[in-house]
Amino acid sequence: MIPLNQNLQRLFNIAQKPSKMGIGLMSGTSLDGLDIALCKFTGNGLSTHFELVQFITIPYPADFKLEVQQVFARRNADLEKVTLLNAYIGTYHAELILAALGQWKINTQDVDFIASHGQTIYHAPQRLHQHKNSPNATLQIGDGDHIAVKTGILTISDFRQKHIAAGGEGAPLALYGDVLLGNKTGENRVLLNIGGIANLTWLPGEGNFDHVLCTDIGPGNTLIDAACRKYFNKPYDEDSVIAYSGNVHADLLTALLAHLFFKEKAPKTTGPELFNLDMVAEAQQQSGTGQINNEDLVCTLSAFTATSIAGFIKENISGNHIKIFTSGGGARNPFVIGELKKLLPEADIDDSSSLGINPDAKEAILFALLGNEALCGEPIRIGINPAVLMGKFSFPV
């Protein structure tokens, strides 16, 4: 008999374990840092139980952000830089994982797998690139082999490609985690993540997965952050101090909301490739608001985030007693959340901690969960969404 390759044997052993320790990694479009969630899983699919054992966000140093920004969401990027960053981000993320495990006093041998999102550097659904003969496409870098070899831990990465191969746009993958962890028959729930881009999952209480909707909505923090960087030399509008010192310009807000993306049917995805300061400048030109002061601009962009989210919910989601559970860094933006509450007075808005999900850790938990599914799950059919198991395996040896 031909002996089983050691890697496959190890994979088989991990998949068979009744409970698994997995690390989920998320490095989002805000480029603020690496989210590392150490989770314990038992079961899979709708029987998944998870516990968040440890969580940390390790902020990225300014020079690293600058390096990534040189290629991030840019149509013309230096190919050598992309290539170098692909390897560098893999090894850098591995170093950050080892540092976190050291801090938590946890041995690498006690971790069964790492599930790594990588760093999105370009997201190009067909609606954006508009090349008839090219499919939806997206690119995450920070290669999984580097993480596996440097940490000695089985690594699963590059989750989005399978989603695209099976007919999706590669996002939002939150769908799968939100259904498995956030669904409750009898309760109309919206799980709203306000990261760089805002997305939501609508989980109607009737419990019929055919009616679940998961989609990007538009900008979350990305425009607010970009304006803060450009005009205030700050990474973001901490506690909405700038937004509260300005006023909303109704004409600019109307021009921003007139963007064609908002008229496209959900599910749909987007990114800073579309929602960037060029798009804002165009709306300012159209509305004759090019001269507004910087505080008013940040205030209007914050209102834009809240109004586009509320508008989407009003148009696409119906039901009584809707509970909205927020997560992502934008859940800590009081201006945005305050506007949302004003615009959606009927909804009950709270952050996802009331579901037992740390709002800052939610996306990193999602990838850990997708890793668990890749190891021992089965494809789940949720409406028209691809029913696939995602992720590529990298072995340490």
Ligand X SMILES: CC(=O)N[C@H]1[C@@H]2OC[C@@H](O2)[C@@H](O)[C@@H]1O[C@H](C)C(=O)O
194, 331 Cβ separation under 8 angstroms = yes
Q: Which positions from 347 through 386 interact with ligand X, judged by CB under 6 A?
A: 363
Indicate the residue among 172 and 182 with the shorter CB distance to ligand X. Answer: 172
Residue 227 interacting partner from ligand ATP, ligand X, none (CB closer than 5 to 8 Å by kind)? none
* 35-74: contacts with ligand X (CB under 6 A): none
- Shortest Å, Cβ 384 to ligand X: 16
Q: In whole angstroms, how close is the CB of 34 to ligand ATP at the nearest point?
A: 10
Q: What length does the chain have?
A: 397
CB of 381 closer than 8 Å to CB of 208: no
Question: Which residue in this structure is represented by tokens 């952000």?
Answer: 65
Nearest residue (CB) to ligand X, 71 versus 292:
71
Among ligand X, ligand ATP, none, the one that 394 touches (CB under a kind-dependent 5 to 8 A) is none
Q: Count H helices, E strands: the chain?
A: 14, 12
Contacts of residue 353, defined as CB under 8 A and 6 or more positions apart, other chains included, come to 359
CA distances to 80, 200, 218 from 139, rounded to whole Å, are: 15, 22, 19
- Shortest CA distance to 357 belongs to which of 24, 31, 28? 24
| Alpha-carbon distance values, 361 to 52, 149, 368 (Å) | 9, 25, 11
Minimum distance of ligand X from residue 47's CB (angstroms): 22
Is residue 391 at the binding interface for ligand X, with CB under 6 A as the rule?
A: no
For residues 49 and 43, give the distance between their C-alpha atoms in angstroms, rounded to a whole number: 6
Per CB under 6 A, residues contacting ligand ATP are 26, 28-30, 32, 193, 195-197, 220-221, 224-225, 236-240, 328-330, 332-333, 363
Q: Is 348 flagged in the annotation as binding?
A: no
How many Å separate Cα 187 from the centre of its chain?
A: 24
The one of ligand X, ligand ATP, none whose footprint includes residue 86, by CB under 5 to 8 A per kind, is none
For ligand ATP, give the closer residue by CB, 232 or 395.
Answer: 232
Query: Under the rule (CB under 6 A), what is the footprint of ligand X?
Result: 28-29, 120, 123, 138, 170-174, 195-197, 199, 216, 269, 271, 363
